[in-house]
């Protein structure tokens, strides 16, 4: 039963991604990173090392993906600032995992929520533009 539920979730996410605008994909990635970080922190507090490592690893992969999506040539100061923030987040997640510390996770969640909040406020008419059209 659990395998069927996981397969359904994967199909649902895959179909959402295939129909999503570039803007929506970034929103989904940020929400996914936040969710995995919260799950990783909960597993850490419960002493479940395997789940902690798996969830924090997935969050780390998402943040690395967000960082790799930046257009450094076209994004100017915004891209440079986000690059620095993502680099900091990557180090914080790694530190939290290695040292079993929850505060770095909280810090990263707060930063991602702030970035996502700003991203969510982008007007709908810009959601389908790609980086080469808007310079980001």
What share of the chain has pLDDT > 90, as a percent?
Answer: 62
pLDDT tens digits for range 45-75: 999 999 999 999 999 999 999 999 898 888 8
- Which domains does the chain carry? 1-7+21-120 (1.20.120.340)
Q: Please provide the distance, in angstroms rounded to a whole number, between the alpha carbons at the two ends of the chain.
A: 43
The token pair that represents 15 in the structure block: 């179909």
Q: Is residue 16 scored above 90 in pLDDT?
A: no
Rounded to an integer, what is the distance from CA 11 to the centroid of its chain?
20
Residue 7: pLDDT band by 50, 70, 90 thresholds?
low
């Amino acid at each position: 039963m659990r395998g069927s539920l996981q397969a359904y979730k994967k199909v649902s996410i895959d179909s959402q991604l295939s129909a999503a605008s570039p803007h929506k994909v970034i929103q989904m990635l940020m929400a996914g990173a936040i969710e995995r970080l919260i799950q990783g922190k909960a597993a850490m507090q419960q002493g479940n090392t395997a789940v902690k490592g798996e969830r924090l690893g997935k969050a780390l992969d998402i943040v690395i993906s967000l960082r790799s999506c930046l257009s450094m040539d076209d994004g100017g100061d915004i891209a440079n600032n986000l690059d620095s923030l993502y680099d900091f987040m990557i180090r914080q997640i790694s530190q939290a995992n290695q040292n079993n510390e929850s505060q770095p996770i909280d810090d990263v969640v707060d930063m991602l929520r702030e970035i996502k909040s700003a991203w969510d406020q982008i007007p709908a008419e810009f959601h389908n533009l790609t980086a080469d059209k808007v310079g980001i």
